[in-house]
């Protein structure tokens, strides 16, 4: 069933735990006088199918999640646009190599790209010969990337830039350490004056001869003259499916098997002001031509290399359904009047045509030109984000709803208004439910949807997390509360169709929001305990929910049971239990409806997420201090007495014996398994 390769330290911990189990009875207070029973009905046909879409991910461009994160572009502010369209502008984080006596660097608006006119002008005053000799390493500019570029020995990187000059050029393109002292990879670019008298695209592959996680990209020369640069990009050649995504971070996503991808925000979609909100049309087409924009909610510039097309591509690559959240004419501080909303409605319709239109449609043809002739499988859109309480929400919403329903009758539309406690006053296929709260609140919300009407639209819990002091930057306590909440969602999955944690990623150099599921810097990453909780639910989407009754007086325990199949067709019963309390629990599990001897001992496992202290967190130093530990379940059976550790999340996977059938075919016989 493929959890993950168990690191040696974890194996030691496992051994330690099994040796210490007897002592644990002494160490923990055991709820001995409270017999706790979990009765599970596994009889054929008794369960209910969980929606295929139940657990997915919500990607927001927050915390430098995409730019300087999932999107593998190494250069920050590659087009020199981040300082604004007015010149002179701030070229940060670019810096100058050399002093005023040897070069003058400025910005002008001479770029060949219409939507991003700012270019960098570099006047080199020194030369390789004559009275004013350049310093030996040359003069020029460098870019440190997003808090250092991760350049790895043996790996290749494609560097592209646009250049123009008044004369011939002779320059070095190199990756160096953060001070420019040692060179990791370098190439020379030589061109005659006529070759570069107009803007010219240069492309070079650099192979790194050593590793440095905090490198920079340099463009240097010892040749006198005037050179302009624009759209300087450096990408590793080795990206996920060759589509530009940082591989190690996508691997973290694939491990939790997301069934949908909600994107690109969040508040990022709204903007503090509409003029700074994400606009899909500005984020498509050749990367060089994209204007980029300043996201004024999370306060950073993005070149929009990770644009609308790339999000749809990512969903495709993950085999997850895309859920596009678009701006409905409302930001945090301004709103378009419903009487003037039609251009925004048209923008959304064009976005749908871009994703789904055929090759003869205007926007479908643009998608095809970007390399994806087949339509993307876009079936869900969210009309705005957290805007239900805003004055124009309902008016604007209905304009979008009607137009999309007419043009795309099958598209499911998600409203920002919560329909879980009272009926909606407008039509919708689903409603958004967001919850950020304390650990005890979220844990008790395991019953949130128990009494929700089953007649209205379905619920999409598109953002949930424990926040505040219970969570720190990703505590076990927060994760356990989330596990309890998710068990509640699993049980109510007849009404809750989708759920995703938020936020998904944080670059530790720009923590705008705590906690997050996946933490990274230029070269490292780890999952917080909340990430690992999601891992326990990876098999739930599309599985069968079994009737499970927990007989206990304790309000600190919640449990569920499902049956699921692995990729080899083996069937498991997965029993998940959260113990949110500080006492160990002796639990009797009885599974009815199974034939005698129908549980395989050898493949049955127990997986535990816990730690010595509820406020423990993972870190770059101890990335898997709190991670699921899987061991064989020696007591696997229909009837089991197990101990559930305090402050823990445990799953028991009982491998069901396959029934062998002997099929007679003429005079030969074969055996097949079901």
Instruction: Give the residues lining the site for ligand AHR (CB under 6 A).
Output: 60, 62, 265-267, 385-386, 463, 502-503, 513
Nearer to ligand AHR among residue 279 and residue 367 (C-beta): 279
Describe the strand order of the beta sheet including 36-41 as a list of residue ranges.
547-551, 36-41, 585-592, 639-644
Smallest gap from residue 83 Cβ to ligand AHR (A): 26
481 in Cβ contact with 580 (< 8 Å):
yes
Nearer to ligand AHR among residue 270 and residue 653 (C-beta): 270
CB atoms within 10 A of CB 263: 28
393 in Cβ contact with 330 (< 8 Å):
yes
Q: Which long-range contacts (CB under 8 A, 24 or more apart) does 176-180 make?
A: 176/142, 176/215, 176/216, 176/218, 177/212, 177/214, 177/215, 177/216, 178/144, 178/148, 178/212, 178/214, 178/215, 178/216, 180/97, 180/137, 180/142, 180/216, 180/218
Nearer to ligand AHR among residue 60 and residue 617 (C-beta): 60
Name, in order, each residue with C-beta under 8 angstroms of 455's C-beta and a sequence gap of 6 or more: none
Nearer to ligand AHR among residue 306 and residue 546 (C-beta): 306
Nearer to ligand AHR among residue 150 and residue 462 (C-beta): 462
Per-position b or e across 13-48, b if 16+ CB within 10 A of its CB:
beeeeeeeeeeeeeebebbeeeebebebbbeeeebe
Nearer to ligand AHR among residue 72 and residue 459 (C-beta): 459
Nearer to ligand AHR among residue 486 and residue 502 (C-beta): 502
Q: 182: buried, middle or exposed (CB in 10 Å: 19+, 13-18, 0-12)?
A: exposed
Q: Which residue is nearest to ligand AHR (CB)?
A: 266
In the three-class reduction of DSSP (H, G, I as helix; E, B as strand; rest coil), residue 167 is classed as coil
Nearer to ligand AHR among residue 325 and residue 640 (C-beta): 325
Nearer to ligand AHR among residue 267 and residue 336 (C-beta): 267
Nearest CA among 542, 578, 572 for reference residue 560: 578
Nearest CA among 492, 496, 514, 497 for reference residue 505: 514
Nearer to ligand AHR among residue 230 and residue 463 (C-beta): 463
Smallest gap from residue 504 Cβ to ligand AHR (A): 9
Q: How far is Cα 287 from Cα 158, in angstroms, rounded to an integer?
A: 14
Smallest gap from residue 465 Cβ to ligand AHR (A): 8
Name, in order, each residue with C-beta under 8 angstroms of 378's C-beta and a sequence gap of 6 or more: 312, 322, 324, 352, 355, 356, 411
Smallest gap from residue 274 Cβ to ligand AHR (A): 16
Nearest CA among 317, 304, 322, 325 for reference residue 253: 317
Residue with the two structure tokens 């790209």: 113
Smallest gap from residue 386 Cβ to ligand AHR (A): 5
Alpha-helical runs (H) found in 370-473: 393-407, 439-444
Q: Which residues pair with 671 in a beta bridge?
A: 662
Nearest CA among 537, 533, 466, 536 for reference residue 496: 537
Smallest gap from residue 482 Cβ to ligand AHR (A): 14
Smallest gap from residue 463 Cβ to ligand AHR (A): 5
Nearer to ligand AHR among residue 263 and residue 408 (C-beta): 263
Q: Which residues pair with 120 in a beta bridge?
A: 107, 229
Smallest gap from residue 385 Cβ to ligand AHR (A): 5
Residue with the two structure tokens 């070149």: 303
Nearest CA among 539, 536, 548, 534 for reference residue 571: 539
Q: 591: buried, middle or exposed (CB in 10 Å: 19+, 13-18, 0-12)?
A: buried
Smallest gap from residue 130 Cβ to ligand AHR (A): 57
Smallest gap from residue 338 Cβ to ligand AHR (A): 22
Smallest gap from residue 380 Cβ to ligand AHR (A): 16
Nearer to ligand AHR among residue 430 and residue 578 (C-beta): 430
Smallest gap from residue 441 Cβ to ligand AHR (A): 16
């Amino acid at each position: 069933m493929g959890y993950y390769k168990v690191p040696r330290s974890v194996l030691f911990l496992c051994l330690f735990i099994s040796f210490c189990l007897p002592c644990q009875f002494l160490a923990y207070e055991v709820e001995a006088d409270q017999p706790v029973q979990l009765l599970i009905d596994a009889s054929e046909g008794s369960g209910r199918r969980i929606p295929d879409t139940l657990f997915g991910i919500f990607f927001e461009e927050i915390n430098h999640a995409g730019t300087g994160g999932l999107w593998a572009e190494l250069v920050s502010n590659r087009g020199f646009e981040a300082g604004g369209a007015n010149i002179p502008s701030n070229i940060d984080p670019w810096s100058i190599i050399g002093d005023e006596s040897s070069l003058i660097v400025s910005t002008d608006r001479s770029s060949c790209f219409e939507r991003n006119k700012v270019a960098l002008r570099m006047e080199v005053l020194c030369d390789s010969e004559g009275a004013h000799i350049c310093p030996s390493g040359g003069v020029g500019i460098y870019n440190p990337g997003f808090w250092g570029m991760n350049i790895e020995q043996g790996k290749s990187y494609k560097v592209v830039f646009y250049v123009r000059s008044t004369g011939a050029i002779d320059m070095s393109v190199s990756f160096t350490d953060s001070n420019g002292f040692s060179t990791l990879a370098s190439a020379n670019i030589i061109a005659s004056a006529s070759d570069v008298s107009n803007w010219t695209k240069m492309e070079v592959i650099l192979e790194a001869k050593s590793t440095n996680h905090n490198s920079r990209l340099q463009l240097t020369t010892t040749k006198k003259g005037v050179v302009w640069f624009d759209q300087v990009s450096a990408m590793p050649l080795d990206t996920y499916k060759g589509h530009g995504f940082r591989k190690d971070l996508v691997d973290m996503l694939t491990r939790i098997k997301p069934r949908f991808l909600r994107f690109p925000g969040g508040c990022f979609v709204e903007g503090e002001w509409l003029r700074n909100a994400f606009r899909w049309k500005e984020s498509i087409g050749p990367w060089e031509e994209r204007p980029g924009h300043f996201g004024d909610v999370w306060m950073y510039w993005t070149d929009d290399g990770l644009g609308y097309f790339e999000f749809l591509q990512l969903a495709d690559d993950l085999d997850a359904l895309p859920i596009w959240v678009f701006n409905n004419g409302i930001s945090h501080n301004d709103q378009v009047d419903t009487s003037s909303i039609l251009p925004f409605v048209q923008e959304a319709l064009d976005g749908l045509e871009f994703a789904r239109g055929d090759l003869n449609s205007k926007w479908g043809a643009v998608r095809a030109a970007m390399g994806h002739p087949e339509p993307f499988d876009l079936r869900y859109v969210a009309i705005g984000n957290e805007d239900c309480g805003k004055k124009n929400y309902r008016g604007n919403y209905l304009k979008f709803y009607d137009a999309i329903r007419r043009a795309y009758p099958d598209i499911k539309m998600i409203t920002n208004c919560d329909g879980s406690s009272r009926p909606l006053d407008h039509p919708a296929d689903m409603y958004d439910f967001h919850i950020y709260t304390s650990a005890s609140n979220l844990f008790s919300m395991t019953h949130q949807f128990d009494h929700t009407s089953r007649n209205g639209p379905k619920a999409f819990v598109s953002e949930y997390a424990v926040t505040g002091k219970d969570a720190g930057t990703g505590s076990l306590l927060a994760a356990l509360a989330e596990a309890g909440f998710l068990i509640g969602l699993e049980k109510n999955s007849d009404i809750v169709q989708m759920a995703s944690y938020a936020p998904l990623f944080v670059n530790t150099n720009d923590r705008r929001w705590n906690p997050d599921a996946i933490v990274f810097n230029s070269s490292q990453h780890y999952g917080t305990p909340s990430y690992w909780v999601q891992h326990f639910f990876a098999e739930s989407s599309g599985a069968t929910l079994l009737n499970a009754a927990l007989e206990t007086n304790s309000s600190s325990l919640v449990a569920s049971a499902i049956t699921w199949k692995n990729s080899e067709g083996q069937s498991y019963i997965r029993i998940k239990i959260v113990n949110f309390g500080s006492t160990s629990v002796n639990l009797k599990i009885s599974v009815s409806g199974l034939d005698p001897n129908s549980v395989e001992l050898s493949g049955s496992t127990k997986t535990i997420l816990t730690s010595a202290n509820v406020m423990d967190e993972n870190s770059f130093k101890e990335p898997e201090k709190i991670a699921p530990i899987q061991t064989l379940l020696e007591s696997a059976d229909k009837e089991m007495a197990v101990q559930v550790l305090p402050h823990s999340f445990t799953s028991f996977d009982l491998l069901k014996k396959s029934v062998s059938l002997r099929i007679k075919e003429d005079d030969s016989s074969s055996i097949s398994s079901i």
